[in-house]
Structure 1
């Protein structure tokens, strides 16, 4: 159990990233097992002159709703939630499930829920969008699902939030300068990863855990905690190669671990029939199929297969992959590539999916500039200053 004595500092980290302003309405959401922390956030929001609104439910209620709601009900956009989202100025969500594995038994309903919630996601992450923070959490059932002791999960999530943000800002700014003006990035590792992407002219996003007027002005209105990456939306029609991801979690339910994933893509597009996994390959393929189905329905194109993100992890505390993408993608010395939605941070693709695949932490990454010069960014997972 996370020590309540840490709540004030963790809440302060959230508000530093959110930049709460006098008179604003802040929607705070999570599970009832986090109630004390949610209320601490609310108190700190009130101290800044804003209005907190807290919404929390139990894991039992979430499970019973999954059992009770029909697929058609999940496909409808929730009217009350849509109204709240339109009214709020900013959104805070703390990992809501005490036991996320309950979602793994309701794949069809989770697909329908993704469909129904999409208009709400557009209000938050589309244009003009809302300011937002998504923070992780640690519970015994979560740790069991990820196959680690709860102390390790807490170290990765809570320890990953309690870092030197000044140092992280320096590392993020260094990477921004190195990538600025770059055309291609090339990544390789000892496990078969070998891909090339085009980032020319694309916005460079700094996830340093701190709000800035510059980031908000360019449309970067939110962030995750733990923080710690620099990311960019590559050109969607370019890029090819192979990515080896030791483990990830099913993007549809966030409740099933998939291990030993190998992805192949060409012209910026995943080739599903060449995507494999050592465990739960059927889940990998089924999720891609379901998300493509949703995107064809909405956009007339399989947008879920488009390359969406190149990210470079920089968090100094997070040192291992467990399948929890929120922390895995921040591993210092790792690279991740996502497929699906990219319009919320500088790309051009809308999709119901944004699925990150994190490489081994032994990646080598090189940037090539417009004039043909090259610079080594990372060698065997070590940042090259």
Structure 2
């Protein structure tokens, strides 16, 4: 029986499904969902390599880096001191686990509050320990380069506005994507740019659970850095903050939607019960 899977998030071709029918993509995702459910049920260890940093020409261009610099960033992250990441992960996990409300603000207009009290907090530190295997579920997944602490917020608690200044959807630019959040769900979505209409069409075609503000993720890896000029974010750099909608089983949640959309918020300030834990993109824990 399969007890481990290793996947490479290469994405060598950007926008591979740019011309695909949104309804067919939604049907494909729905058909694949039971496989992921079975992996979780059987505690299959899952290792994902790439985490948004797998070196490709198009990705380097998006980050405003040369391919050589992106390659170095990727391997610096993979070859990090995992004991250090594990220790920092436990520190951040402890702070979140003891807290109640997160407040995320960003100069781009993001202003979001959500509660985490009592929610399981998970760490992707590059290590799947015997204790992780015993816990099962989301605890048996790691993402390389590693260095994240994440959880699913208290259901219905998220309120405010999230702004994604710049994204690329199937290779097409999306500008100022704005999600209005009330009662933990998306109540409005606006944006501009050549990629917005397709993003919105795919979102509209997705099924139940797509509209839930479903996870919050803090980056903790000091070895991974993006250029100050980069307008895009990533999960891993220390001081980064990421939120998203849709599936959150990987974050210990129960949203099984085949749909997921991720919003990186570089340069944010985050408070936990009025104590600053990230200030302008710098981790303070």
Equivalent residues of 1:308, 1:339 under 8 A apart? yes
Who is 1:212 aligned against? Answer: 129
Instruction: Say which of 37, 44, 54 aligns to 1:130.
Output: 44
Q: 2:144 aligns with which of 188, 202, 225?
A: 225
CA positional deviation for 1:192: 0.8
| Structure 1 match to 2:180 | 264
TM-score, length-scaled by structure 1: 0.65
Deviation at 1:198, TM superposition (A): 1.0
Query: Which structure dedicates a bigger proportion of its chain to strand?
Result: 2
In the alignment, which residue of structure 2 is the partner of 1:274? 189
Structure 2 Cα separation of the partners of residues 102 and 145 of structure 1: 16
Aligned to 2:225: 318
1:183 Cα shift?
Answer: 1.3
| Contact map agreement 1:99 1:142 (CA 8 A) in 2 | no
| More helix per residue | 1
Distance 1:344 1:128, change over 3 A: farther
Q: Is the 8 A contact 2:156 2:185 kept in 1?
A: yes
Report 1:1-385 matches (<5 A): 87-108=1-22, 109-124=24-39, 126-136=40-50, 137-140=54-57, 142-143=59-60, 148-219=65-136, 220-250=139-169, 255-271=171-187, 273-291=188-206, 295=207, 302-316=208-222, 317-320=224-227, 328-360=234-266, 362-368=267-273, 374-385=274-285
Q: Is the 8 A contact 1:232 1:345 kept in 2?
A: yes
**Aligned equivalents of 2:160, 2:167: Cα separation in 1:** 19
CA distance 1:128–1:365, shift in 2 (3 Å)? same
For residue 304 of structure 1, give the secondary structure of its aligned residue in structure 2. coil
Q: Is the 8 A contact 2:270 2:277 kept in 1?
A: yes
Q: What secondary structure, in the 3-state scheme, does the structure 2 residue paired with 1:337 have? A: strand
Q: Whose radius of gyration is greater, 1 or 2?
A: 1
Alpha-carbon shift at residue 146 of structure 1 (Å):
6.5
- Superposed CA deviations along residues 20-53 of structure 1, whole A, max 9, x for unmatched, are xxxxxxxxxxxxxxxxxxxxxxxxxxxxxxxxxx
Give the alignment's Cα RMSD to 1 decimal: 2.4
SS at match of 1:104: coil
Cα deviations by residue, 1:104-147 (Å, 9 ceiling, x for unpaired):
222444333212222222222x3244110111232335545766
Separation of aligned partners in 2, 1:145 and 1:105 = 21
After TM superposition, give the deviation of residue 199 of structure 1 in Å. 0.8
1:98 positional shift: 2.8
Alpha carbons of structure 1 residues 89 and 105: separation in structure 2 relative to 1, 3 Å:
same
Ranges in structure 2 where 5+ consecutive residues have no aligned partner: none
Say if 2:6 and 2:47, in contact at 8 Å, map to a contact too.
yes
TM (normalized to structure 2)?
Answer: 0.86
